Amino acid sequence: MNRKLIAVLAAAMVMMTACDSSGHVDTEKSENQGTNTMMGTITSANRSEESKITDEMLNFDKKTDTTTSIDEGNEIIINLNDVKVGEDVVITEGGSYILSGKMSNGQVRVEVDKSENVQLILDDVEITNEKGAAIYIISANKTIITALDGTENWISDGYGDVVGDIDMENEVSNAAIYSKDDLIINGAGMLTVNATINNGINSRDDLTISIAAMVIHAVDDAIVGRDSVMLKEVDMTINAGDDGIKSSREEEEKGYIVIESGRYNIQSQGKGMNAETSIVILGGEITIDAVDDGIHSNGTIDIMGGNITITTGDDGIHADDMIIINGGDIKILDSYEGIESAMIYIHGGNIDIVASDDGINAAGAGGQGGFRRMPNMAVTDTDVQYKLVITGGIIKVNAEGDGIDANGYIYMSGGEVYIDGPTNNREAAIDYDISFEMSGGLLVGAGSSSMAQAPSTTSTQASIAMTYSEIQSTGTEVVVLDEAGNNIISYAPDKVFQSIVFSTPDMIKGEEYTVVTNGDITVSFETADSVTWVNESGVTTGGGMGGPGGQRPEGMRNFSEDMKRPEGMEMPAEGMRQPKE
CA distance 398 to 333: 10
Per-residue model confidence as pLDDT tens digits over 81-90? 999 888 899 9
Q: Is the pLDDT of residue 158 over 50?
A: yes
pLDDT averaged over the chain? 82
Across 1-10, 168-177, 381-390, 484-493, least confident range = 1-10
Average pLDDT, integer, range 88-109: 95
Q: Could you tell me what percent of the chain has a pLDDT over 90?
A: 71
Q: Is the pLDDT of residue 509 over 80?
A: yes
The DSSP result for 96-165, as a single string, is EEEEEEEE-S--EEEE--TT-EEEEEEEEEEEE-TTS-SEEEEE-SEEEEEEPTT-EEEEES--SS-GGG
Query: What is the structure's pLDDT at 364?
Result: 83
Whether residue 82 contacts residue 65, with contact meaning beta carbons closer than 8 Å, is answered with no
Q: Is the pLDDT of residue 348 over 80?
A: yes
Average pLDDT, integer, range 20-42: 33
Query: What is the structure's pLDDT at 85?
Result: 85
Residue 102 CA to its chain's centroid (Å): 38
Cβ-in-10-Å burial (0-12, 13-18, 19+) of 413 comes to: middle
How many Å from the N-terminal Cα to the C-terminal Cα in the chain?
A: 75
DSSP code of residue 131: T
Global confidence as pTM: 0.83
Q: Could you tell me what percent of the chain has a pLDDT over 70?
A: 75
Whether residue 165 contacts residue 129, with contact meaning beta carbons closer than 8 Å, is answered with no
Average pLDDT, integer, range 19-30: 33
The count of residues in the chain is 581
Per-residue model confidence as pLDDT tens digits over 288-319? 999 999 999 999 999 999 999 999 999 999 99
For the chain, the C-alpha Rg in angstroms (whole number) is 29
DSSP-assigned beta bridge partners for residue 266: 238, 288
Dmax (CA) of the chain: 99
Closest CA to 340 of 324, 356, 317, 357: 317
Q: Is the pLDDT of residue 255 over 60?
A: yes
Which pLDDT band, with edges at 50, 70 and 90, does 172 fall under?
low
Q: Is the pLDDT of residue 118 over 80?
A: yes
CA distance 409 to 502: 19
Query: What is the structure's pLDDT at 225?
Result: 97
Query: What is the structure's pLDDT at 55?
Result: 67
Q: Is the pLDDT of residue 44 over 70?
A: no
Query: What is the structure's pLDDT at 24?
Result: 31
Coil, helix or strand for 28?
A: helix
Helix and strand numbers, DSSP H then E, in the chain: 2, 47
Query: What is the structure's pLDDT at 1?
Result: 31
CA distance 211 to 261: 11
The residue type of 191 is L
